[in-house]
Amino acid sequence: MTGEQANQFFSDYGPIIWTVFSIIVVITVLHKFWPFISKAVRTVDIIAELPERLDKIESRIGNVEHEVKTNGGSSIKDAVKRIEDHLSKI
C-alpha cells in the first residue's frame, strides 16, 4: 500500500474506525466501573427512600411506646400490672 493509498483509506474510513474505537472504549469503561455505578445508584435510591422509612420507624416506635406506658388499662404494661396484682392476691 502506497502512502497515497493509505491517506485515502484513512480519509475514507478514519471516522468509522474512530467511532468503533470510541464505542469499544466506552463499553470497556462501563464494564469496568459497573459495580461502582450500580452501588452508587443503589445508595442514591436508599437515600431517596429514607424519609419514608423514617416515618414508618417513628410510627412503629410510637406504637411500642403506647404499649409500654400506662394509659388507663389498654396497654401491655397495664395488663401486666393487673396480672401481678391478681397473682399477689393468690
- pLDDT band per the 50, 70, 90 thresholds, residue 87: confident
C-alpha 27: how far from chain center = 24
Amino acid in the structure at residue 22: S
What pLDDT sits at residue 86?
87
How does pLDDT run across 27-60, given as a tens digit for each residue?
999 999 999 999 999 999 999 999 999 999 999 9
pLDDT at 68: 83
Q: Give residue 2's pLDDT band: very low, low, confident or very high (50, 70, 90).
A: confident
The Cα 62–Cα 12 span in angstroms is 73
pTM above 0.75, yes or no: no
Cα 51 from chain centroid?
Answer: 13
Cα 85 from Cα 90, distance rounded (Å):
9
Query: 72 and 78 in contact (C-beta within 8 Å)?
Result: yes
C-alpha cell belonging to residue 68: 409500654
Which candidate, 37, 48, 80, places its Cα nearest to that of 88?
Answer: 80
pLDDT at residue 66, rounded to an integer: 82
